[in-house]
Amino acid sequence: MTTAATKETDQATEYTPAADRLNAVLASGEPPPRPSALAASTTFGWRAMLKIKHLPEQMVDVTLFPIIMTLMFTYLFGGALAGSTGDYLQYLLPGILVMNVVMITMYTGIGVNSDIEKGVFDRFRTLPIWRPSALVGALLGDMVRYLMASTVILVLGLVLGFRPGGGIGGVLAGVALLIVFSFAFSWIWTMFGLLLRTERAVTGVSMLVLFPMTFLSNVFVDPRTMPGWLQSFVDVNPITHLVGGVRGLMEGRWETGHITWTLVASAALLAIFGTLTMRLYNRK
């Protein structure tokens, strides 16, 4: 009897919200405008920066790794190739700067692949934003990492005795050329991040491409000392032209051929791999 009475009481007192109460808690007015492509990309770039805050071990590749590489190659090859570490450092530092930053670009693809595996990009695709903003934002965030690595190497080089003949203007111009190329080059690894299934696969493919491109170039030695058949590859290697352009700017010389070749290669990489990446992103 008591149970039946309780049920009747619950049914009688069932709450029905009034229309005015619902209007009070619902958002009123016009919906917020859709964010612009720049605003959305910048937001995702800031997200990439917040990853560093919560996972500071990610800074190893832009701090400790460049320091170790610079010290190791300076004191390993300096005496044998140039007679002294000081003389060799003048030739090596622009090249090792390019090598370190270019190798860091592969982490863009690794980060994209990780977000895909976690399902984060599925949520991004449902948002009313510019579709490429998630990818462009990740690349913008990585550009800050490239600047950090460049700063670490340049400061270490100055401590060791590197003296750029082009002054601060030449150094900034060289770093700017490097950042432009690295942004375009990162689209290759972004494509592989979408295409391959695991982070390990992205890392393996990246290293398979990066090691020959960086070592078979003018980073460590003058290509004129190499066999003729190897010089043929070095002459068309985009890293060779990038190093030549950066090295010339830091020495106070405008290597027009190297700079032009680098900018044309950057535009081609962006047009080809940017297009392929967006097709994969829309279909995946």
**pLDDT tens-place string over residues 60-108:** 778 888 899 899 988 888 888 777 888 899 999 999 999 999 999 988 8
> Where does the pLDDT of residue 40 fall: very low under 50, low under 70, confident under 90, or very high at 90 and above?
confident
% of the chain beyond a pLDDT of 90: 41
Give the pLDDT score at 114. 85
pLDDT for residue 28 is more than 70: no
Taking the alpha carbons of 270, 276, 282, 284 in that order, is the dihedral positive or negative? negative
pLDDT digits (tens, 9 = 90+) for 100-132: 999 999 888 888 888 888 888 778 877 888 888
Which alpha helices (H) appear in the chain, and where do they start and end?
2-12, 19-25, 37-54, 64-82, 85-104, 106-118, 120-125, 133-160, 167-195, 199-215, 228-236, 238-251, 256-283
Q: What is the pLDDT of residue 209?
A: 92
At 135, is the secondary structure helix, strand, or coil? helix
End-to-end CA distance of the chain: 61
Question: Based on C-alpha coordinates, what's the Rg of the chain?
Answer: 26
Say yes or no to pLDDT of 41 above 70: yes
pLDDT of residue 128: 83
Whether the CB-CB separation of 167 and 86 falls below 8 Å is answered with no
- CA 185 to CA 270: how far, in whole Å? 7
pLDDT at 20: 62
Kindly report which listed range (1-15, 104-118, 128-142, 184-198) carries the lowest average pLDDT score: 1-15
Q: Sorting pLDDT into bands at 50, 70 and 90, what band is 4?
A: low
- The pTM assigned to this predicted structure is 0.82
- HSE-CB for 71 with a 13 A CA cutoff: 10
pLDDT at 1: 47
Judge whether 49 and 141 are in contact, CB under 8 Å.
Answer: yes
CA distance 30 to 19: 19
Token readout for 255 is 């290597």
How is residue 129 written in tokens? 């934003």
214 pLDDT higher than 70 = yes
* pLDDT of amino acid 176: 95
Mean per-residue pLDDT for 219-247? 91
pLDDT of residue 258: 94
User: Which residue is associated with the tokens 């982070």?
Assistant: 199
Whether 102 and 191 have beta carbons less than 8 Å apart is answered as no
Q: How far apart are CA 82 and CA 63, in angstroms?
A: 27
Give me the half-sphere count of Cα atoms (radius 13 Å) on the Cβ side of residue 164: 23
pLDDT reading at 25 higher than 80: no
In the DSSP assignment, the letter for residue 62 is: G
